Structure 1
């Protein structure tokens, strides 16, 4: 009987070996993160999206600093959501390891008036604040990332399973202008819950004029302490996805309408 192909894995893909051992408190599949202090997130180019102008489901390779694939993430959403809601769409994101095991599941609900800093009540009402929930293993919530709202800078809160704030993420002001004008990396700095100490960074990397102008492909680099709890490392992958849709992909909304 033919085996079912693993999504995101192709011949020639160099993969990270799974670390031996593991802790009982470590969700299955997050063992890889124990050895890492940075991740690279590469969105895959969808040729038909470039040709037709329609939004396709996003897919991402998540690699270590050596370029070895650690995880593969793929979006699940409806055509209507992608067509009408565009970057503000509701979606689920499945993250698998190189064996096809689902290790992380994320969900972003649709919010009535959420947008990158434009909602007047985004800093006060949960009904408007954009958010993404991170589960590992699927079905068990380990974190929630919430758009905290700010008139001047992009601001996200990273909360743990008990709804306690663990990190604040502050982005650059140019993300709020909603134009594709930056020709350098965009740094979203990660701070401790008191806002005093910078402990990491999520950088949207400049991909060159051709890719930036004619495609929606994004590349990110994530840096964090190597001894950070793996659940919080997984949460920062979720934060990267929310940044992608809320601040980066939204810059292209309406281009093909």
Structure 2
């Protein structure tokens, strides 16, 4: 499926060059991830949402360490679900490249949650399906309990990595880290919710995240760690001007 290229804004967008070669086992479009070990995910500020509180679909830029845009992420969700269900809404997130070609899709079903003392107590555990090249390549699954933990699973459901955050996800003028761990609890990377400054944190729900991982990690797993960013964002930080959580 093709999407129109992201509309230019006042700042010029510099896109990363597409790698010349793609390994046979690399899904189309994911060759951008072959030689990176960190990415920045920046949510766009939506002026309609800022001034009216009307919940709009989320959009994100995904940048490499040189500030070049690698992907653009656009939420597809029902407007009524956005207004009535807020951050617990179901959605699809399309990941597109610089020519508007969809290279991956993340799908989160509607699962009810409640919140107590800044911790999620799920009526249903949260999850997200990850597809690339028209095939399911994995899933993100929340672990039971009050601690912020998720499993990164392959297409067969086998657990590959664990993402573990603090017990209470609350920012006090500082970054919040979620460690990326192997099954034997070795830290190989991080998902970091970056503190954006008092004004931005107080008046918008547009968030910035950094994600780091080994450069030789399989591109499918790198993609799934990007998906973890969106699930964490919706679960813990998509809350401003809402009372749905």
Under a length normalisation based on structure 1, what TM-score does the superposition of the two structures give? Answer: 0.88
For residue 214 of structure 2, the aligned residue among 204, 214, 225 is 225
What is the aligned partner in structure 2 of residue 132 from structure 1? 128
Q: Larger strand proportion, structure 1 or 2?
A: 2
- Quick one: distance in 2 between partners of 1:5 and 1:145? 28
- Quick one: distance in 2 between partners of 1:148 and 1:252? 28
What is the aligned partner in structure 1 of residue 140 from structure 2? 145
RMSD over equivalenced CA pairs, Å: 1.9
Extract unaligned runs of 5+ from structure 1: 123-127
| Alpha-carbon offset, residue 69 of structure 1 | 0.3
Deviates more, 1:94-103 or 1:107-116: 107-116
Q: Is the 8 A contact 1:185 1:205 kept in 2?
A: yes
What is the aligned partner in structure 2 of residue 75 from structure 1? 75
What is the aligned partner in structure 2 of residue 213 from structure 1? 202
**Structure 2 counterparts to residues 1-257 of structure 1, below 5 A:** 5-8=4-7, 12-113=12-113, 117-119=120-122, 128-137=124-133, 139-151=134-146, 153-175=147-169, 181-194=171-184, 196-250=185-239, 253-254=242-243
* Total equivalences in the alignment: 239
| Alpha-carbon offset, residue 248 of structure 1 | 1.5
- Quick one: distance in 2 between partners of 1:252 and 1:156? 26
- Quick one: distance in 2 between partners of 1:5 and 1:95? 12
Deviations 1:70-96 (A, max 9, x none): 000000001111111100000000000
Deviations 1:201-220 (A, max 9, x none): 00000000000000111000
| Alpha-carbon offset, residue 173 of structure 1 | 2.3
Extract unaligned runs of 5+ from structure 2: none
Q: Is the 8 A contact 2:33 2:222 kept in 1?
A: yes
- Quick one: distance in 2 between partners of 1:199 and 1:110? 31
| Alpha-carbon offset, residue 254 of structure 1 | 1.4
SS at match of 1:169: strand
Under a length normalisation based on structure 2, what TM-score does the superposition of the two structures give? Answer: 0.92
